[in-house]
Amino acid sequence: MSIFTGAWDFIVDPGNWSGDTGIGTRILQHLWYSVLAVALSAVIAVPIGLLIGHLRRGEIVVVSLVNALRSLPTLGLLTFLVLLMGLGVMPPILALVILGIPPLLAGTYAGIASVDRGVVEAARAMGMTELQVLFRVEIPNALPLILGGLRNATLQVIATATVAAYVNLGGLGRYIFDGLALYKYDRVVVGAILVAVVALVVDGLLALVVWASVPGTGRLRRTPDLTRL
């Protein structure tokens, strides 16, 4: 029996989907790690991106920070965090947060900075405060790029969340690391297939959200009518 046949038989067996170590539980664990990491990344990256994009200052800082964070190897960073903090859920979550910050920061900054300056100045001329300009003009127009950054961050985090199993946590990475340890390479393929499927499904859903946020016929209209403000 080939590795791929064994992997397929494992996936389609209903008995492997239930229980604390079943596929269903592993998928939920994987999604939980991913959602938590992306949410924490957004809490850090989005406000910074909004501020720098609105003020049009600090672009060099954004570019340098994004490039620096993208150059960090996630597994190496995880190993360092484990040595620093010990085993537990925090080291892999922090490693995934650092992975998710660059696309969110870049997407948020690029979205705000790309808003037509004429629209922004017109809003200011009508007496809108800076917060009103940001939340009622810039963010609605920048939403497609902001959501695009969220989509990229989510895809990268889901694909990399297998590292949680490196420190004996759950998730789909459990199949990969356990399979390697036991020389059961069909289980490694199971983990790889399931991670790819989960990533593609989530990416497809987020792609629909991004599409819906783009101004145009049949989609959300984001350019405000300043004459009614």
Q: Which residue is associated with the tokens 């490694």? A: 188
Per-residue pLDDT, averaged over 181-197, amounts to 92
CB-CB neighbours of 167 under 10 Å: 20
Q: What is the Cα–Cα distance from 48 to 206, expressed in whole angstroms?
A: 22
CA-based nearest residue to 54, from 66, 62, 43: 62
DSSP 39-79: HHHHHHHHHHHHHHHHHT--HHHHHHHHHHHHTS-HHHHHH
Tens of pLDDT, residue by residue over 125-184, are 888 888 888 888 888 888 999 999 999 999 999 999 998 888 888 899 999 999 998 889
| pLDDT over 60 at 222, yes or no | no
Instruction: Give the global pTM.
Output: 0.86
Tens of pLDDT, residue by residue over 14-63, are 989 988 889 999 999 999 999 999 999 999 999 999 988 888 777 787 77
Question: Domains of the chain by range and CATH?
Answer: 3-228 (1.10.3720.10)
3-state helix, strand, coil in the chain (%, to 5): 80, 0, 20
Tens of pLDDT, residue by residue over 108-123, are 988 998 888 888 888 8
Contacts of residue 85, Cβ cutoff 8 Å, sequence gap at least 6: 91
Burial level of 33, CB count in 10 A (0-12/13-18/19+)? buried
Tens of pLDDT, residue by residue over 85-96, are 888 889 999 999
Contacts of residue 169, Cβ cutoff 8 Å, sequence gap at least 6: 29, 33, 89, 92
Q: What is the Cα–Cα distance from 136 to 131, expressed in whole angstroms?
A: 8
Q: What's the chain's length in residues?
A: 229
Report the pLDDT value the prediction gives residue 219, as an integer from 0 to 100.
54
Confidence label for 229 from pLDDT (cuts 50, 70 and 90)? very low
Highest mean pLDDT range out of 60-69, 90-99, 124-133, 217-226? 90-99
Report the pLDDT value the prediction gives residue 218, as an integer from 0 to 100.
47
